[in-house]
Amino acid sequence: MWSAPQLTPAQAESVRTLNAEQLLKKIRQIRTINPDFSEAPVIMGGDLNCEPFSPTFEILKKHMSWCRDIATDLKDNLGCPGYADYDYKSGDYVKWGTPSEDKGVIDYIWIQNPECGQGIAVRNYFTVTDQMALISSDHCPKIADIIID
């Protein structure tokens, strides 16, 4: 049996910061290796486990744009609803929390170089709050319509 050590909040943030720096480094390497990719947009999304304006967020914000900030139609930016309770007897998920801003935003969609001359626009950034979307996760999915000419 293997078990991961528990990290302090500072250690966890340090790991997230390192991961963000490594991601940006890999993007730079790909752009350098293949000139065809030098101006291609990069879209990245997921559960980053960092809140807005954390050190990890700020590193990404220096090199990428949070789609929420540049969307023409922002529906919401709700945070995690928390885990749903699972009723083993019925086999159903029950008692979902309610997604809200105060529960912390840790899921993002980012785009790099939105003004790179590619005609990139972001619209309809929103959080899916349908209870069925929560069956397999404790997070609400984020969706952004990204138009690239």
CATH of the domain at 141: 3.60.10.10
Residue pLDDT, tens place only, 58-116: 999 999 999 988 888 877 666 665 556 667 787 766 656 665 555 667 888 999 875 55
- Is residue 2 one of the residues assigned to a domain? no
- Is residue 78 one of the residues assigned to a domain? yes
- Is residue 3 one of the residues assigned to a domain? no
**Reported pTM:** 0.77
Number of structural domains found in the chain: 1
- DSSP calls for 118-149: S-EEEEEEEE---GGGGTT-SSPPEEEEEEE-
Domain that holds residue 60: 9-148
- Is residue 4 one of the residues assigned to a domain? no
Crossing angle of helices 9-33 and 55-63, in 10° steps, is 20
- Is residue 17 one of the residues assigned to a domain? yes
Determine phi and psi for 48, rounding to 5 degrees: -95, -5
- Is residue 1 one of the residues assigned to a domain? no
- Is residue 19 one of the residues assigned to a domain? yes
Q: Is the pLDDT of residue 119 over 90?
A: no
